[in-house]
Chains A and B, each alone.
Chain A
Amino acid sequence: ILGGRTSRPGRWPWQCSLQSEPSGHICGCVLIGKKWVLTVAHCFEGRENAAVWKVVFGINNLDHPSDFMQTRLVQKIILHPRYNRAVVDYDISIVKLDTDINVTSYVRPICLPNKKHSVEPDTYCYITGWGHMGNKMPFKLQEGEVRIISLEQCQSYFDLKTITSRMLCAGYEAGTVDSCMGDSGGPLVCEQPGGRWTLFGLTSWGSVCFSKVLGPGVYSNVAHFVEWIERQIYIHTFLLN
């Protein structure tokens, strides 16, 4: 995260780290159920074998495992069948864990939005991750507040890429607060009335975040995929066992 700040441990209990040896943290991810995690499809490019991955929950400092940490292996990776790596559209995937997580204060699922519940432009939301900070990779989870930007306005920043309805843009023209390499798959969450937090986006792509080319970040629009997510969870829970 560029322009963010270090998070307090447990503040974002749905944030997880998708890890693979020998590199360790590769991408962010989001807990949506006891056995289910969302991330983006591009995290698995060239690494689609579930056996090479593990998912770490309840962690704040990647370098210092905490007592609240839970680790699970990956049983199944479900990539969106329309994922297109050339244009980074339909950039979403579901990860089935080998066993349920234990819900604690530090490990809790986020709510999914309703199918037609899109977040309005100018809403302020939060992004989190262990991605690049512009000058270094952090050990501690970072958080940043970003503003939702309309698709039309977002398109004007990215002449060479088409911004589709499967995407959501958030950030600032000057790129002051933005996601960066290593944040991919992590959450963009907004607080709803009643203090409940809902997952509206997954960090997907943007300009080279610490270069001269700035602009907002582009996130996978979770509301667009809710029906697909629910169906995949149903199929892989009840029908394909």
Chain B
Amino acid sequence: CINSTCSGSCGSSLNCETHQNQTNCGQCEPITLELCMNLPYNYTHFPNYLGHRTQKESSISWESSLFPALVQTNCYKYLMFFACTILVPKCDPQTTQRIPPCRSLCELSKERCESVLGIVGLQWPEDTDCSQFPEEKSDNQTCLMPDDDVEECSPSHFKCRTGRCVLMSRRCDGHADCEDDSDEENCGCSQRGLWECPSNKLCIKHTMICDGFPDCPDQVDEKNCSSCKDDELECANHDCVPRDQWCNGHLDCRDSSDEWNCVSLSKSVNSTTFLTIHKSAADYHVCADEWQEDLSQLACNQLGLGGPYMTETIEDHDQRNRQNWLRLHSDWKNKNASTFHELLVKGQLCQSRQRIALLCTKEDCGRRPAARMNKR
């Protein structure tokens, strides 16, 4: 109920103050319980015959674990069909009422499988009293019986050649679960409709190839996904963006990957960490002309290092490096920039011939306050 008390929904009594428990009642809903997705019907009606009020409740119930495990014993060919008729009962579209399984289906399931459960000390689900279900009628309209072509295994099972159902998680696990070993045959990715990572034989779905998320260890599933021109670079989502737009402070890739990793610290031989900017697909030093301390803070923050920092300026007389300088924009204070690298411009002379080196430290984390000491 909206007023946060709990009540059985859609019951005959109106338990909530304002009849809220009657909302969304009397409707057929599509079956979403994965175990029962291959039934000869697609719509269900809740509560089910086990007292579950929703499909979500049904999916985490004891019975939705019990039946798939029991099916593997081959105790009764139509056990899974029976299980689904009580877990997600068929909804009659005309009356929007649930259609029960026939009593004989229930009795046969119980008769053949209850004893198997007893061997491992478990009990047949208490709520499945077969007498609550109607006898099979001649017109077969009031209750459900399996047709000959009903799927014996659920979508969570693999069907052995012998007809037995074994759990899908046991297929291709290196152990034979079918009597004829058929669960360990054709275990290649392609035979299972999947794509194989070359380095470790991991199978991934075809939809995971070139989707911007690496799944294979060497990221090979995200390679050769686009054909960018020479003057373009590839975004993480495989769009192509002109090189000169890379790290310019504006989002050009739809996933913003052109603005990632634009600022870094590169170590020199004496362990000084130079501030380095990756712009238009090349690395640049940062000239110390007009430098102010709050710029060091901005650069460290952008590196994900928000703790204390230290700035150094290092002289660089090597004229060969002249092309690799970036200098602060003459009007940088008025630029209202959110990133550090958009304050910098190429092709300007660095009069001081000094470059910026930074030491950024990580903000403190993961420490608990010491427990207070009390003399006893």
Interface residue ranges of B35-82 to A (CB < 8 Å): 35, 60-62, 64-65, 68-69
Considering the complex, give the chain B residue whose CB is closest to the CB of A90. Answer: B213
Given A208-B61, A241-B338, the answer on whether A109 and B167 have CB atoms closer than 8 Å is no
A159 touches B34 (CB 8 A): no
Once A11-B368, A110-B366, A162-B169 are accepted as A-B contacts, the answer to whether A234 and B260 lie under 8 Å apart by CB is yes
How many chain B residues touch A (CB < 8 A): the figure is 34
**Given the known A-B contacts A22-B4, A241-B338, are A159 and B367 also in contact in the complex, defined by CB atoms under 8 Å?**
no
Chain B residues near A111: list those with CB within 8 A: 365-366
Min CB gap B60→A, angstroms: 5
A104 closest partner in B (C-beta): B369
Give the contacts of A1-28 with B (CB-CB under 8 A).
8, 10-13, 22-23
Is A33 interfacial (CB-CB < 8 Å)?
yes
Q: Judge whether B259 and A239 touch: CB under 8 Å.
A: yes
Q: Does A64 contact B (CB under 8 A)?
A: no
A110 with B365: CB separation less than 8 A: yes
Known: A159-B167, A196-B365, A238-B339. A233 touches B304 (CB 8 A): yes
Give the chain A neighbours of B251 by CB distance below 8 A: 239
A-chain residues with CB within 8 Å of residue B213 when the two chains form the complex: 82
Contact A109 B65 (CB under 8 A): no
- Known contacts A86-B32, A208-B60, A234-B260: A239-B366 contact under CB 8 Å: no
- List, in ascending order, chain B residues with CB within 8 A of A136's CB: none
B260–A13 CB distance below 8 A: no
Whether A211 touches B62, Cβ cut-off 8 Å, given contacts A160-B169, A233-B304, A238-B302, is yes
- With A155-B169, A197-B368, A233-B304 given, is the CB distance from A109 to B32 under 8 Å? no
Main secondary structure of the interface of B (DSSP, over half): loop
Q: Count of A-B contacts with CB under 8 A?
A: 86
Q: Could you tell me the distance in whole angstroms from the C-beta of B27 to the nearest C-beta in chain A?
A: 18
A159→B169 contact, CB < 8 A: yes
Report the nearest A residue to B212, measured CB to CB: A81
Q: Does B156 contact A (CB under 8 A)?
A: yes
- A105 on the B face (CB < 8 A): yes
Chain B residue at minimum C-beta to C-beta distance from A196: B366
Q: Mark B268-282, 1 if CB is under 8 A from A, else 0.
A: 000000000000000
Interface residue A51 (Cβ < 8 Å from any Cβ of B): no
CB-CB nearest 6 A-B residue pairs: A111-B366, A105-B369, A111-B365, A196-B366, A197-B366, A159-B167
Q: A160-B167, A234-B304 are in contact. List 18 more A-B contacts (CB 8 A).
A: A8-B371, A11-B368, A22-B4, A86-B34, A108-B369, A109-B363, A110-B366, A159-B169, A160-B65, A160-B156, A161-B169, A198-B366, A207-B65, A238-B338, A239-B251, A239-B256, A239-B259, A239-B339
| Residues of chain B having any CB pair with chain A under 8 Å | 4, 32, 34-35, 60-62, 64-65, 68-69, 156, 167, 169-170, 213, 251, 256, 259-260, 301-302, 304, 306, 338-339, 363-369, 371
- Chain A interface (Cβ within 8 Å of chain B)? 8, 10-13, 22-23, 32-34, 82, 86, 105-106, 108-112, 155, 158-162, 192, 195-198, 207-208, 211-213, 230-231, 233-235, 237-241
| 22 A–B contacts from the bound complex (CB under 8 Å) | A10-B369, A12-B368, A32-B365, A34-B306, A86-B34, A105-B369, A108-B364, A108-B365, A108-B369, A109-B366, A112-B365, A159-B69, A160-B156, A192-B366, A196-B365, A233-B304, A234-B302, A238-B259, A238-B302, A239-B256, A239-B338, A241-B338
